[in-house]
Structure formats: structure tokens, C-alpha cells
Structure 1
Amino acid sequence: MHSTKWGHRAPHEAGPRTGLRAQLSRGAHLTWTSLRVLALNPRLMILPFFALVFTGFTWLFVVLSFLALGLPPASPSSGFLYQEMFLAYLITYFLSCYFMAAIVGASFVRLQGGHPTVMDGVEAANASFFQILVWSMCAATVGLLFRLTAIRSDAGGRIVSRILGSGWAIATLFVLPTMVVEGIGPLKAFRRSRALLKDRWGAHQKGVLGTGMVFLLLFSFGLAPFIWGIVGGAATLGWAVGAILYWLVLSALWSVVHGILVVTLYHYATDSEAAFGFNWQALNHPWIR
């Protein structure tokens, strides 16, 4: 384990390599180490698959409504359909937060030296159910507005970054761990998340976690089979189906890897210890810009 003073580089710590190759190397290390932790607890993969199943059922109702009432805005029931779509979005966001909280809870059990089960994760999420519900409803709406503001213009993105100190995804990185582990409410968890980020990694962070970039590259491998399956007609449709299944499995895998890494970074921010065999240099610079 390695400790450094919060917000400062240790005297013996060399400056980070900033090239894309070096950043991808750190991302690969973060991903591989998270996968090794998952290999010790493979049953945790059940949690994101539950999320996918429940999310699928949620949007199935939307699809059935489209088939019965037509597509908006041409449908005379467009108002209802738009409301149903927004409700499905909120439910999807809640399911994502709930099962990610379960992954976080199970990962924290592993961090403490235990052997987590699926029920350990579910119980951890249930213990903070109300906080997760409130947070997911607020984050789904506020986060969407922030993202739309950032997408519409560079100035909007700078305003959001100035308000939050970083992008929305980074600013909220430790909200679920603080709610699950520390048992605090959503607003305090949001403030706590921003404080941990500022104290450990500085006031302004940009980019995506290294694991996100690695999985984005893995996702891209499914593009060629998917396109081939679509343009090739019925004879090659199986390629498109295979690509979709590949993406679903990969998204479930990413969820667990992301949860493990977030718990590791949270522990590093609070205790200045590199757990699970992670390289402290990679934890000091986990983002790819």
C-alpha cells in the first residue's frame, strides 16, 4: 500500500506521463486489476444482468405502447407517450443507480476481506433504498439538463464545469459509495463526492475513467459485425444479433468493473491506500483526457 498526502504529490512521485499511450496503459491496468477482483467473485455479474432484465421489461411497455398508439408526434396520444418515455427513463436511471449501489456494497465487503454474495450487495442497496431513489430522481433530471447544456455549446460546458468543478459524471463519482458506506443523504453525498475529488485529485478534473476508454474500444469491436448483419439482409442478420448480445454482456461486465474501481478510488481518497493490488500511480491519475 502507498500513502500520499492529500492533494499533493509525494516527494518521490514522478510526474505522470501524459501521452495517450501512457494514459491507455493506466486504463488497461485499472481494467485488468478490476477484472481480477471480479474473477474472485464472479457471481457479482448477476447484479448487472438483473438490471438489464428489469430495464428491458420497462422499455418493453414503451414499445408496446408505440405499437398500440403509434409513434409520436404523429400519434394522437403523443402527450401520454412522451410522459411514458420520461417515466421509463427515470425508472431506468433508478435501476442503474440501485444495482450499481449493490455492486458498490458487495465490492466494499471484498475490500474489507470478506467474500461477498449477491445478497450482500442487494442488502447494502436496500439499506440506502430511499437515498438512492431520491438521488436517482434528482440526478436523472438535473444531470440531463447539465449534459444538454454542455452539449449545446462549449460555453455551456464551461459553465457546468465551473459550477461543479468538473464534469457531471466525475463530480458525482462518489455519491453512491458515500451513501452506501457512510449512510448519508443524497445532498451531503454529492458535497462529499466533490470534496473527496478536490482533496485527492485537485479542483478541476476532466476526461473519463481509464476503464471507460478501454471498454469503449472493446465496444467498437462489435460495430463491424453489427453493420454487416444489418446491410447484408436476412442471411447475415445473426451477425447483428450476435453484436447486440456482445454489447449487452460487455455493458454488464463494465458495470461491475466500474463499481469495483469506484470503490477502490473512494478508498484511496478516504484512506490513501491502494487496495486490490492497484498501482497507486494509476489511481493518482485514473482519467484519460
Structure 2
Amino acid sequence: MSFFDRLSNGWRITQNSFSILKKNKQLIIFPILSSISLILVIGIFVLGILASAGWDVELIQTENEVLNYLMLFVFYFVNYFIVVFFNMALIHCSKLYFNGEEATVSAGLKFSMSRIGTIVSWALFAATVGTILKVIQENSGIIGKFITGLIGIVWGVTTFFVVPVIAYENHGPISAFKRSAQLMKEKWGESLASTFSLGLIQTLVLLVLAVPVVLIAMYINLYVAVFIAIVAGFLSFAVFSAAETLFISSVYHNITGKLEDHFDQQLVDSLFEKK
């Protein structure tokens, strides 16, 4: 299958993801809640650091590397926990929709709460990996930074199916990582057509939104333009984040043979063609 055929299939599956989101607009609340939670966490971290320095930026201590890395680990942990918690809720809602059941926000949140122990375990594992990579990256030369960068990319690819795996399969963090990598090896192949499609669409949308924002900044008011840009960017991120998570859920259920409608098995197999 050619590269452009893969792009075509990725585009079709992406369209289906947006179609599902259009029929279940309430699902966009999950990435919105995730984003708000992350903003609050970052704010708490920043305020905590400033408070420890007596609200004087110049007094912020950075010499204690152990403390810095410990804080980084905590930040990674909270970040992973929040993202996985709300993504799992969204994935469960998509499963309810595929099964012909009512997909509600409360049902998604309730399911994530029922898997809270698993989410914590994965967040600890992922935060540990992230912190170790950061330590290596900051204490190595150019080659080391390049290698850790590649490892980070591989990590992102191999954990593609982790959220649905820990949601519906009885795996610990390490076995969930291996299971996700196995699914990728079986179905992903060389093409990231869907990711490319989503990225391309989002870029085009942002470019289109940039035109009126620039005009408003030039001819009306700069602060109004900034406000509109922030709101539009936030909503755009939420929509595309939800569509990407729906894509992951749909392909996972298709691969595991638990999805009969909405996505054609042959189409998915051709997109994630094994090499």
C-alpha cells in the first residue's frame, strides 16, 4: 500500500472519529476538564515554588538537583494521572456508544474512578520513566540527548494503546506497556497516517483562525484578539484531543475484535499494515 493510500485511509478514519464526536458533543468535556486540571496543577506548582522563595523569583533555589528531580517526578506523576484519568473516561464513553448504550460524562468519570488504582500504578511507572530520561538527558552530551530523544519518541509510539489496555485488560504497568507495544507491532506498521491527518487538520484550522484574530488585533483591540485566540486555541485543542482519543479507542476495539460498527475492519487493517 502506498503512502498516499495510507493517508487516505487515515483521513477516512479521522472523519469517523469527528463524526462520533459530533453525535456525542458532551464528550468534549473530558479534554476540557483535563486541560483545566493541568492548568490548576501547574499554577499550584508555580505558587508553591514562589512561596518557598518568599515570593522573590531571584531567591528560587535550583542547586539541589535531588529536590528538583523529585519535584519533576511529582509533576510528571500528577500530569500522567490527570491525562490518563480523563482519557480513560472518554474511551469508556466511546465503548458505551459503540455498544448502543448512552454515553454520559458521569458514566465515564465513574468508570475511571473504578480503575483509580490502575491509573495510579501507570502514572507512577510513566513518571519514573520520564524522570529517568530527563536525568539522562540533562547529564549527557549531544549524543546522549539525541538517544534519549529517540527513546522518548519510541515511548510515545509504544504506549499508544496503553489507556484502553489498562482500562479493559488485567495488566500491571510493565505488562500493559508490553501489551501496547505488541498491539503496535501487530497493526501499526510504518505509517502514522491518522496522526498526520489530525495534525494537518489542526494546523489548517489554526491558520484559518489566525486570520480573523490578526485582523481584530490590527483594527479593533489587541486584548480582545488575545482573548479570542486563547479561547479558540483551547477549544481547538479540546476537539482534536477528543477526536484522537476516540480514534485510539475505535482502533483498539477493532483490533481486539470488540467493534463491529462505525469502522471497517479491512480499512483499519490496511492502515495499520504489518511489515
Query: What is the aligned-residue identity percentage?
Result: 23
Partner letter of residue 221 of structure 2?
A
- Residue 240 (str. 1) matches residue 232 (str. 2): no
Q: Structure 1 residue 36: deviation in Å?
A: 1.0
Partner letter of residue 13 of structure 2?
L
Partner letter of residue 177 of structure 2?
F
Report the secondary structure of 1:177's partner residue.
helix
- Equivalent pair of 1:94/1:132 in contact (CA under 8 Å): yes
Q: Which runs of 5+ in 2 are unaligned?
A: none
Report the secondary structure of 2:174's partner residue.
helix
Partner letter of residue 222 of structure 2?
T
Instruction: Give the whole-Å Cα distance in 2 for the aligned partners of 1:82 and 1:71.
Output: 21
Q: Which residue of 2 aligns with 1:53?
A: 36
Q: Which runs of 5+ in 1 are unaligned?
A: 1-15
- Equivalent pair of 1:102/1:124 in contact (CA under 8 Å): yes
Instruction: Give the whole-Å Cα distance in 2 for the aligned partners of 1:258 and 1:227.
Output: 28
Task: For residues 35-74 of structure 1, give each alpha carbon's deviation from its aligned partner in whole angstroms, at most 9, with x where no partner exists.
Answer: 11112221112222211222222122234346654576x3
Instruction: Give the whole-Å Cα distance in 2 for the aligned partners of 1:56 and 1:24.
Output: 34
Aligned match of 2:151 in 146, 160, 181?
160
Task: For residues 99-154 of structure 1, give each alpha carbon's deviation from its aligned partner in whole angstroms, at most 9, with x where no partner exists.
Answer: 001111111111222121112211221222111112123223414655886xx659
Q: Structure 1 residue 88: deviation in Å?
A: 3.5
Report the secondary structure of 1:271's partner residue.
coil
- Equivalent pair of 1:24/1:214 in contact (CA under 8 Å): no
Report the secondary structure of 2:3's partner residue.
coil
Instruction: Give the whole-Å Cα distance in 1 for the aligned partners of 2:113 and 2:85.
Output: 8
Distance 1:91 1:157, change over 3 A: closer
Q: TM-score, normalised by structure 2?
A: 0.77
Partner letter of residue 134 of structure 1?
S
Q: Which residue of 2 aligns with 1:35?
A: 18
Partner letter of residue 43 of structure 1?
Q
- Equivalent pair of 1:48/1:252 in contact (CA under 8 Å): yes
Q: Which has the higher helix share?
A: 2
Q: Structure 1 residue 33: deviation in Å?
A: 0.9
Q: TM-score, normalised by structure 1?
A: 0.73
Partner letter of residue 232 of structure 2?
Y
Report the secondary structure of 2:256's partner residue.
helix
Distance 1:140 1:247, change over 3 A: farther
Aligned match of 2:121 in 134, 145, 154?
134
Q: Which residue of 1 aligns with 2:238?
A: 252
Give the root-mean-square deviation of aligned CA atoms. 3.7
Instruction: Give the whole-Å Cα distance in 2 for the aligned partners of 1:159 and 1:57.
Output: 30
Q: Which residue of 1 aligns with 2:3?
A: 18
Instruction: Give the whole-Å Cα distance in 2 for the aligned partners of 1:50 and 1:174.
Output: 21
Task: For residues 185-212 of structure 1, give each alpha carbon's deviation from its aligned partner in whole angstroms, at most 9, with x where no partner exists.
Answer: 222211111111222334x666772324
Report the secondary structure of 2:89's partner residue.
helix
- Residue 169 (str. 1) matches residue 169 (str. 2): no
